[in-house]
Amino acid sequence: MQREGPTLEVLVRRLAETPEDFLAEPKIASLGAVDVPAVAGDLLRMCGQTPNPPSLAVFAGTDGRRDRNRLAVTLVMSWLLGDEWFQSASLPAAALLKLLHEEATDIAALVGAKKFVTDPDRREELARLVLARLDCRPAGESIAHAQDRLTTLSSLERSRVLKISQAAAQRARQIREALARKAAEESADKWTRE
């Protein structure tokens, strides 16, 4: 988060004003309306990069159930990255593609794409996530504040903490069960000795 990016308010407002074209069904096989590889290619061109057609193949969906939300999140991210600041920031194509594919895949497993447009906290989360993954922070914020706020809002972080807490609870339950078995065995041994 070394680089200062645009103001958070601009990005959050942009997400709130996402046009219907970017919220339409992504094209998966013969169904859907929006060609996501074309949108990703257009975004790269807008950001001064030359798209490599094979690298855009990851944006072609084949399984509606598995790919629909991931591609929908990619479309919302593409709209956000179409902001003037990103177009003039000279961002590397690899970073943009990683964001649109890997980060979209991760966050889509937890949050529906439309929430990034309709829910204020999810809009802020997506704006902060995009900036952070591009090593930027919102204008006027310190690195520490930007990281803290992203951690607070992050669905990915919340999921990670939940998994850790569930694993700890399961481990505690296993220890309690083992202690109870040991106590029962000791009690049985005591009765057999008497």
Give the model confidence (pLDDT) of 141-190 as tens digits: 999 999 988 888 887 776 676 677 778 788 888 888 888 888 888 777 77
Domain assignments of the chain as residue spans, ordered by start = 3-153, 156-194
pLDDT beyond 80 at 107: yes
- pLDDT higher than 80, residue 62: yes
186 vs 108, residue with greater confidence:
108
Model confidence at 14, pLDDT cuts 50, 70, 90, reads very high
CA distances from 56 to 38, 96, 110 (A): 8, 11, 23
pLDDT for position 170: 84
Whether the pLDDT of residue 140 is over 80: the answer is: yes
pLDDT at 194: 62
In the prediction, which pLDDT does 121 show?
94
Structure tokens at 66: 């598995």
Query: Does 124 have pLDDT greater than 80?
Result: yes
Cβ contact 106:99 at 8 Å? no
pTM score > 0.85 for this model?
A: no
State the alpha helices, DSSP H only, in 82-154.
84-88, 93-98, 104-108, 115-118, 120-133, 143-153
Decide which of 139 and 1 is more confident.
139
8 A C-beta contact, residue 133 and residue 103: yes
